Amino acid sequence: MKTKRKKYFILIGLLIFTIFTLVYNFIRDEKLKKIGVYTICSINKVEGASRGMMINIEYNYKGKKIMNSSVNSTGDITRKDVGKRFLILIRSDEPDANYDMFLDKPVPDSIKEAPINGWKDIPF
């Protein structure tokens, strides 16, 4: 009987954790869409990680140089992408909190830098 009860507690705990994570990610993504601005990031480093490739990026917002990193598990980014520039969406209130990188939006050479406050809409 105790084993069965323990399994239910574990299942309920996992369910609560999953729901909390989904709600947190939804709120974070909605806030990013609502108050986000677009800017340009450069990929500085790509190296192997346990769950994919660790990507180090750099971007400027309001005169501040921000360095950020994340793990890309899809294999979309490789070491060949170091030095390339892409469009990213960042939060205007916390520019180093989280971001969405648009790998399908490489920045053309004709655009040297983003405005100091970024763009409200995709510029190209």
In a domain, 6, yes or no: no
Is 1's pLDDT higher than 70? no
In a domain, 123, yes or no: no
**What pLDDT was estimated at residue 80?**
92
- Segments forming the whole domain that contains residue 99: 37-106
In a domain, 54, yes or no: yes
In a domain, 26, yes or no: no
3-state secondary structure the chain: CHHHHHHHHHHHHHHHHHHHHHHHHHHHHHHHHHHEEEEEEEEEEEEEECCEEEEEEEEEECCEEEEEEEEECCCCCCHHHCCCEEEEEEECCCCCCCEEEEEEEECCCCCCCCCCCCECCCCC
pTM of the model: 0.80
In a domain, 113, yes or no: no
In a domain, 68, yes or no: yes
In a domain, 97, yes or no: yes
Across the chain, what does the average pLDDT equal?
Answer: 91
In total, how many domains does the chain have?
Answer: 1
- What are the tens digits of pLDDT across the range 20-68? 999 988 988 888 889 999 999 999 999 987 778 899 999 999 999 999 9
In a domain, 30, yes or no: no
Q: What percent of the chain has pLDDT over 90?
A: 69
